[in-house]
Amino acid sequence: MAIRVISFGQLSEITGKIFQAEVQNTDQLAALLRDRYHIPVDIKYMVAVNKKVITNNTLLKADDTVALLPPYSGG
Amino acid sequence: MDEKDQYERYARQVSLPGFGMDGQAKLTNAKVLVIGAGGLGSPVIQYLAAAGVGTIGIADGDKIELSNLHRQLLFTTDDIGESKAMMAADKVRKINPKIICRAFGYHVTNKNAFDLFSGYEIIVDCTDNFTARYLVSDACRLLNKPLVFAAVFQYEGQVAVFNTPDANGEKITYRDLFPEPPSALSAPDCNIAGVLGVLPGLIGIMQATEVIKLITGIGETLAGKLLNYDIRTHGSMILELSASLLAKQLAPVNRKMYEAIDYEWLCGSVDTNAIGKDALHTMLADPLTIAIDVRESDETPEAEFMHIKIPLSIFDTFPEMPEFKNIIVFCQSGTRSVKAAGMLRNKFGNDKQVYHLINGIKGYNSQT
């Protein structure tokens, strides 16, 4: 099952703006980001499923869109 | 200026449906503190002053630099070297002499935040580093004050309204987004990552819009939401935020606890191997020690001691330097050098000792 993932800020420099991920839940997506894209653990990001930010592992459905947002510090 | 002038000044917004004299009176009575008079702060301050926000506080410990001017349109070339807070307040008085503007020419810390924030109803975070963002957010939560937040990275910006009841009555804070501060290493600032001048301009105006909406009650604020805006595509996305249990566990619960937190350490912007001017000179007498300027090539002033230049942006090609055992990195104010020291320790492990110069060249030059 391919989930559509959109990433923002410096994450999109690593993963590309939009990519497909074969995952069942958001924990698997986090593991994929470490393994496939080598995102270091000290890079923090929020995970939103269908524009709602989640704080726990969440099951994903085929038509879900996941957004990954890192913090920006500039001002 | 008499009452007729005042009416004329605000006529175009007073005539708006849903705004009126009532909306103007709310702005006149409002007290807003803007933290940071930089890329975001410039438009925020200008628009809030022009709209007639009755009391505006401006806090910023920095001085105006040439490299600020492409995005900080509140300032002009003649203003270089002046205090940002003082100069911004001068401009505000020219934009709108009828409002009260107070300048605080120092950085907000967890030691002064409680006293500083107490005189204001809305806090606007226009800072440029995580240390400030976390300590401002924690203070707003403890003082129960709405926080209008914005931040930028290269071509993208984020805007949110924190500590204000959302549709579910919940008050989200910055910590709910990122309970633990990211390390300074993982998030480059404008000096390294670069920023197009129009970006903080746009995002700052969105931030000012949220302040005006909060005060007047017009429309729907971004309470409990986060707007991400990309100027490359004009693509925007609004995310619904939710409270994080971890954030509640990590946030300070009272003033005493808040003031005891070392936010610099928490946000990875301090370094244990930090040295001052005297130690720098002592160490440089050793031929096994080298000092490295990690600022970008166009940054001034030039360091007066022996050094070489390797900008942080090209650290991925850092040479092995077998002839040196000790490296001292330095930058403008001591933030980037912490990142640089961390990167070099990862690279060299125990082969070399890495130090950084506290408060950078600014600190060095201020010591006699």
Whether the CB-CB separation of B40 and B200 falls below 8 Å is answered with: yes
Where in the sequence numbering do the catalytic residues of B fall? 190, 331
**Closest-CA residue to B225 (of B162, B278, B276):** B162
CB contacts of A42 in chain B (<8 Å) are: 182-183, 185-186
Continuous segment of H or E residues that includes residue B245: helix B245-250
- Six token digits for residue B70: 């492409």
- On whether any CB of chain A is under 8 Å from the CB of B308, the answer is no
Average pLDDT score over residue span B318-342: 90
Torsion angle of the four alpha carbons B163, B167, B169, B171, in this order, in degrees rounded to the nearest 10: -20
* Tens of pLDDT, residues B309-327: 999 988 888 999 999 999 9
B90: distance to nearest CA of chain A, Å?
21
pLDDT tens profile B3-42: 778 889 999 999 999 999 999 999 999 999 999 999 999 9
- What value does the mean pLDDT take over residues B297-320? 91
Interior angle at CA B49, CA B146 and CA B102, nearest 5: 75
Q: Give A1→chain B minimum CA distance, Å.
A: 24
How far apart are alpha carbons B152 and B242 in whole angstroms? 22
- Partner residue opposite A53 with nearest CB, options B186, B230, B240: B240
pTM score of the predicted model: 0.83
Q: Which of A7, A38, A73 to mutate to test the interface with B (most CBs of B within 10 A)?
A: A73
* Predicted confidence (pLDDT) at residue B255 exceeds the cutoff of 60: yes
Model ipTM?
A: 0.94
Scored b (16 or more CB within 10 A) or e, B265-286 reads ebbbbbbeebbebeebeebbee
